[in-house]
Structure 1
Amino acid sequence: MYKILIIEDEAPARKKLQRYIAQACNSFKIVKEIETVSDLKVLLSKTQDFDLIFSDIELRDGNVFEVYKDVILHCPIIFATAYNEFFINAFEANGIAYLLKPYSFEQFSNAWNKFIRLKGDSAPNYNELIGTINNFIKEGQENNVEYKDQFAIKSAKGIYFLKVDSIVCFQADQGIIFAFDETNKRHTMPQKVFNEIELLLDPKKFFKINRSEIVHRKFIDKLERYNKNILSVFLNSDRKILKTSQNKTSDFNSWLGI
């Protein structure tokens, strides 16, 4: 029986993992489900009695690599995330597969079968792991990703089209996603999962500054220090003021080239 730890802060994603695991394996036990970085840190300080970890990366209180960099892990990890920039971090943290949300059962099954193969080996096949990571990165660089240039928005009168270039920022609030345009008008987006919005946007133009807000580079007017690790972001001639999360500030500065 395989003992499995799930690290995921979104209930639908946890249910999907559970369903896929049950389809792929007849004998397993989910020993724990973790939703925060702080809980993960506590758990790994007490036990690593797992055969496999399924791990998201960005949780509600930070990034899991804050924990993984400080512990010696004794089991492999299959990462399941909406972020495509952590391949190397994943490999360094015992990652054997990288599932990019939304992933299919076929993709999950390939990752699971790799775990089974490695579990049967006397030693991990690191050449295979390195090749997998390198190929995944190469494929991502070579794919010509088409990002949205407009969104179809439903209204009481019908459907209208919101141009992406006119969107100042996106905000998620109690399960509803809003886009704010340059006139500060609010538009209700058809997407229900915030990470889906991020995947549809050009990462050179848009940046997710915290768990529920994405900003458009061209509408950033100025930044001010809110506290030691958080920035106030002034958008659209100061009509909107948002704040970075602590774990996003450094990456945000790098994205801006400052």
Structure 2
Amino acid sequence: MNILLLEDEYPAAERLQRLLTQAAPEAQVLAVLDTVSSALAWLAANPAPDLILSDIQLADGLSLEIWEQAVVPSPVIFTTAFDAYAIRAFQANSVAYLLKPVKLAELQAALAKLRQWGDLRVKSEEVRGNSVATSALNSIEHLLDALPRPGRPYKTRFLVRQGEQLLPLPVAEAAWFLSRNETVTLVATDGRRFVLDYTLEQLESLLDPAQFFRLNRQVIAQLPAVRRLHPHFNGKLLVELHPAAPEEVLVSREKAPAVKAWLEG
């Protein structure tokens, strides 16, 4: 197994290589790179490795930028101190998302999943070669698509940054979310604000729809944060939130009945 290691901290790179000698003695680390730019250059000049083992934060940016700028077919095991990038990571051929410090048992489990993924891909190719029914092929491909996805139905907490610290914030303490200039901010019930690495579309799929509702393109609110509804022009609704929003939060005439039904339960 040929592995490309992306890590900008020397001790962490050394530790991962030691763990690999125990978890996969046959593995060969082809290169250890610490920047997005060097990784893109290496991938452009070399055959795709069997696996990429990558930290999220590299010396010149997020490693996720690699998959946004280039087509990289290799499966990836991400290692990071943050869980805020998990959704984007699973869109980049991710087999596993391991929080630092990486434990041997977790790395072994991730490599086992990788081997299972590879076995399924082989079976899928055999099905294609034998011209088996399309439904059988589709069932294998659907299983492959499902392997990297997180299993929890709804998110229960966010890991947010406060100064130099990372704090677990229960979802119940999130009053509303605002998207502005491609940045999503979580506004807590006590007025604190935290920048998240999610889009509102991603949050819609992660949050319990009984508790959270997308009021418009910019705002998702939790039920207790909605204090009042005020009739507005052309059948729209003006939503009064707590903590207060920096600008008017309007619900379209088309969505107004759904908001009322959500509030009534």
TM-score under structure 2 length normalisation: 0.52
| 1:58 alignment counterpart | 57
| 2:99 alignment counterpart | 100
Matches within 5 A, 1:172-251: 197-198=165-166, 200-202=167-169
In structure 1, how many angstroms separate the alpha carbons of the residues matched to 2:32 and 2:144?
26
Match for 1:138: what amino acid? R
| 1:27 alignment counterpart | 26
TM-score under structure 1 length normalisation: 0.53
The alignment status of 1:141 with 2:155, answered yes or no, reads yes
Distance 1:27 1:70, change over 3 A: same
Deviation at 1:50, TM superposition (A): 1.2
Number of residue pairs matched? 174
Distance 1:13 1:137, change over 3 A: farther
- State whether residues 96 and 114 of structure 1, in contact with CA within 8 Å, keep that contact through their aligned partners in structure 2: yes
| 2:112 alignment counterpart | 113
What do residues 164-207 of structure 1 show as CA deviations (whole Å, max 9, x unaligned)? Answer: xxxx9645xxxxxxxxxxxxxxxxxxxxxxxxx42x454999xx
The unaligned stretches of length 5 or more in structure 2 are 126-139, 174-187, 200-218, 220-244, 247-265
In structure 1, how many angstroms separate the alpha carbons of the residues matched to 2:168 and 2:4?
32
Match for 1:31: what amino acid? L
**Is the partner of 2:71 in helix, strand or coil?**
coil
Larger radius of gyration: 2
Distance 1:117 1:132, change over 3 A: closer
The unaligned stretches of length 5 or more in structure 1 are 148-167, 172-196, 206-216, 221-243
- State whether residues 3 and 30 of structure 1, in contact with CA within 8 Å, keep that contact through their aligned partners in structure 2: yes
Deviation at 1:92, TM superposition (A): 2.3
Match for 2:31: what amino acid? K
What do residues 134-185 of structure 1 show as CA deviations (whole Å, max 9, x unaligned)? Answer: 4x3517824xx699xxxxxxxxxxxxxxxxxxxx9645xxxxxxxxxxxxxx
- State whether residues 88 and 133 of structure 1, in contact with CA within 8 Å, keep that contact through their aligned partners in structure 2: no
Percent identity between matched residues is: 28
In structure 2, how many angstroms separate the alpha carbons of the residues matched to 1:87 and 1:47?
27
In structure 1, how many angstroms separate the alpha carbons of the residues matched to 2:145 and 2:89?
11
Distance 1:26 1:102, change over 3 A: closer
